[in-house]
Amino acid sequence: MAKQHIIATSANGKDVYAYLIQTPAAAQISRQPHLVTLIKEVVGQLNLTTLQISIEQDMGRTIGYGELSETTDKDTVFYAKQAKSGLYTRFVKNKKSKPTSFLSIVLLKDETDNYELKDVWIGKAFPPLPGHESETDQSKSYWEGHAIIYNGQPILASTQTKDCPY
């Protein structure tokens, strides 16, 4: 069984932990270890009480580069499954990441009243990908006009397509 790693404690004493193997949060933290420090800074100020929490926090300073971009018909867009993901992600080529002050965090309360870090990224919050278990009514329309900037992320080459899979 995978081991929980406590990352932060909330203002009301709830532990926030992550599984650092084969999770979206693990992939982000492995590429950007400073996310742990940023998570501690944000979570330490919060009272965590609800079942699922999505946080979009303006850190008041540049903390990195966002991987998301709006797209137009002129952009080179493709779809592919990322390594260790069963879902298609919409990617855009030939775009540059922009500096941002935003951090997004997704937490889920567990049976012990603590919180698992489900995902974290630098940039503004966005709806889950179409087909994700947490897909919203906005997912498809949002992802029709936005894409992840392709910077060599590990993808499954056999899944790459220009045709929208959703």
What are the pLDDT digits (tens) for 28-60? Answer: 898 899 999 999 999 999 999 999 999 999 999
Mean pLDDT check: name the lowest of 46-50, 104-108, 139-143, 154-158: 154-158
Q: How many domains does the chain contain in total?
A: 1
Residue 104 covered by a domain: yes
* Position with higher pLDDT, 85 vs 114: 114
Domain that holds residue 124: 4-159
Distance CA 38, CA 57 (A): 10
Over residues 7-22, mean pLDDT: 94
For residue 95, give the amino acid letter.
K
Distance CA 21, CA 3 (A): 9
Q: Is the pLDDT of residue 84 over 80?
A: no
| Token pair recorded at residue 46 | 């919060």
For residue 79, give the amino acid letter.
Y
Q: Say what the pLDDT of residue 1 is.
A: 59
Residue 165 covered by a domain: no
